[in-house]
């Protein structure tokens, strides 16, 4: 009869060839620490001829400070071995496959990804397309010492969105397709770019649009690109409870406390 995974693990432990069992129901506590100012970055690029990304510089005449302190977040997690030097961390309905590293630590991680694209063309020559690529990697790096875990939760995310649209076009039948925008295009330059008002007496900056009857960009296609990258981390520790991995754990799934008030 083929030996079970449990039997193999027990045999390995009895001979001192395997790491200490990490299995069990754990109570986690995560410190809600402030992130660095550059933990998340955003950049916008484009080829609009008369638009720019508004400055985010602060008014030098003002001096402002803001501080925030939050209580820890508390939650329960189940860790179960899946093989030699392998285990899975389950938090709520999310599972993170893990490996036992050569330095004795454990790394549990999962990468989620979404990629989407849409495009449209019109007989008048109008072209439109947009793409979106998003990834998010959640990692728990944990040191295991008996009934205690300590380490870091790391969240790394990236989002890249691209838009492309004809600089100019004609055709009244396009009006319905463009959802009542008249001769303004779909590219969302108005959300990210500004320009001077046509009124020379005005000092107000106005949103930038791609107009059908004017040349607004440096090429035949107007281009807009937005990239957001985040790299955040929080200290985390856990203690192994005496709860069973069956009915007891089911009773605490989703239980805990959110950070802050």
Q: Are residues 250 and 65 in contact, defined by beta-carbon separation less than 8 angstroms?
A: no
pLDDT digits (tens, 9 = 90+) for 235-260: 999 999 999 888 888 889 889 999 88
- Range from 173-187, 211-225, 226-240 that averages highest in pLDDT: 226-240
CB atoms < 10 A from the CB of 54, how many?
Answer: 10
What is the full DSSP assignment across 9-47? HHHHHHTT-SPPP--EEEEEEE--PPPPTTSEEEEEEE-
Query: Is the confidence at residue 4, as pLDDT, over 60?
Result: no
The region that residue 35 occupies, defined by phi over 0 for left and psi between -120 and 50 for alpha, beta otherwise, is: beta
| Domains of the chain by residue range | 5-59+71-254
| pLDDT mean over 77-102 | 95
Average pLDDT score over residue span 141-168: 96
Q: Which pLDDT score, from 0 to 100, does residue 14 have?
A: 44
Backbone phi and psi for residue 224, each to the nearest 5 degrees, phi listed first: -145, 135
What does the pLDDT average to over 132-156?
A: 97
Q: Which residue has the higher pLDDT, 68 or 143?
A: 143
Closest CA to 167 of 210, 205, 207: 210
Bridging pattern class, strands 256-257 and 24-30: unpaired
Instruction: Assess whether pLDDT exceeds 70 at residue 67.
Output: yes
pLDDT of residue 96: 98
**pLDDT for 1:** 47
Contact criterion met (CB below 8 Å) for 235 and 241: no
Share of the chain above pLDDT 90, in %: 59
200-224 pLDDT per residue, tens: 777 788 999 998 888 899 999 999 9
* C-alpha separations of 100 from 19, 81, 178, 232 in Å: 8, 10, 54, 23
Average pLDDT of the chain?
Answer: 87
Q: What is the pLDDT of residues 11-49, one digit of tens each?
A: 444 444 455 789 999 999 999 888 888 899 999 999 999
195 CB burial (10 A radius; 0-12, 13-18, 19+): middle
Query: Is pTM beyond 0.75 here?
Result: yes
pLDDT band at residue 88 using 50, 70 and 90 as cut-offs? very high
Report the C-alpha gap between 140 and 234 in whole angstroms: 10
């Amino acid at each position: 009869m083929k030996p079970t995974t449990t039997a193999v693990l027990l045999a390995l432990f009895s001979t001192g060839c395997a790491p200490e069992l990490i299995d069990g129901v754990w109570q986690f506590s995560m410190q809600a620490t402030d992130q660095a100012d550059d933990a998340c970055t955003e950049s916008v690029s484009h080829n609009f001829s008369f638009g720019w990304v508004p400055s985010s510089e602060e008014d030098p005449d003002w001096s402002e400070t803001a501080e925030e302190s939050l209580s820890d977040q508390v939650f329960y997690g189940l860790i179960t071995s899946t093989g030699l030097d392998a285990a899975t961390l389950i938090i709520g309905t999310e599972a993170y496959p893990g490996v036992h590293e050569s330095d004795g630590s454990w790394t549990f991680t999962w990468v989620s990804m979404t990629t989407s694209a849409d495009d449209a063309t019109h007989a008048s020559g109008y072209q439109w397309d947009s793409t979106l690529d998003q990834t998010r990697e959640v990692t728990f790096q944990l040191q295991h010492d008996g009934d205690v875990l300590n380490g870091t939760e790391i969240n790394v995310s990236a989002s890249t969105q691209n838009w492309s649209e004809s600089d100019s076009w004609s055709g009244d039948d396009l009006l319905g397709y463009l959802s009542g925008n008249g001769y303004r295009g779909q590219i969302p330059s108005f959300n990210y770019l500004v320009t001077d008002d046509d009124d020379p007496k005005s000092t107000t900056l106005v949103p930038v649009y791609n107009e059908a009857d004017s040349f607004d960009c440096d090429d035949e296609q107007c281009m807009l690109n937005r990239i957001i990258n985040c790299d955040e981390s929080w200290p985390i520790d856990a203690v192994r409870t005496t709860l069973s991995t069956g009915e007891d754990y089911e009773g605490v799934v989703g239980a805990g406390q959110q950070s802050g008030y």
